[in-house]
């Protein structure tokens, strides 16, 4: 009985608290998982986009896990923003920031 009274009291009181926004952020694109995950990694470190791209590409050049999978031309295209993001970039970004992100392709 006491619990019900408390609940009713709370509901009747004026409430100036800000309501939570349950919508996805404007940069979250559920139909494009690659961009969404990359943007989450980018926003998670609060760095300028150009700086993030430079740091990520520089890191990719030295990441042993990617040895033999990428070449200098591909890295130059990434640096200039002429190549779409893929699993290798997301993987490198997650490793760069020591985040444990696993990208799995569903068929």
- Determine the pLDDT at residue 3: 46
- Determine the pLDDT at residue 97: 66
Q: Mean per-residue pLDDT for 77-85?
A: 79
Helix 87-96, helix 49-62: angle, nearest 10: 90
Question: How does the average pLDDT of the chain come out, rounded?
Answer: 67
- Each residue's pLDDT tens digit, 19-62: 555 455 555 445 555 556 666 666 666 677 777 778 888 888 88
Alpha carbon distance 2, 14 (integer Å): 21
pTM higher than the cut 0.75: no
Alpha carbon distance 77, 70 (integer Å): 11
Label residue 41 exposed, middle or buried (CB < 10 Å: 0-12, 13-18, 19+): buried
């Amino acid at each position: 009985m006491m619990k019900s009274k408390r609940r009713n009291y709370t509901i009747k009181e004026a409430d100036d608290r800000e309501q939570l926004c349950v919508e996805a952020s404007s940069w979250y694109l559920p139909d494009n998982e690659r961009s969404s995950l990359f943007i989450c990694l980018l926003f998670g470190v609060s760095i300028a986009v150009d700086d993030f791209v430079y740091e990520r590409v520089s890191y990719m050049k030295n990441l042993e896990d990617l040895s033999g999978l990428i070449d200098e031309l591909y890295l130059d295209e990434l640096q200039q923003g002429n190549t779409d993001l893929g699993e290798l970039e997301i993987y490198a970004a997650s490793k760069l920031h020591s985040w444990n992100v696993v990208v799995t392709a569903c068929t």
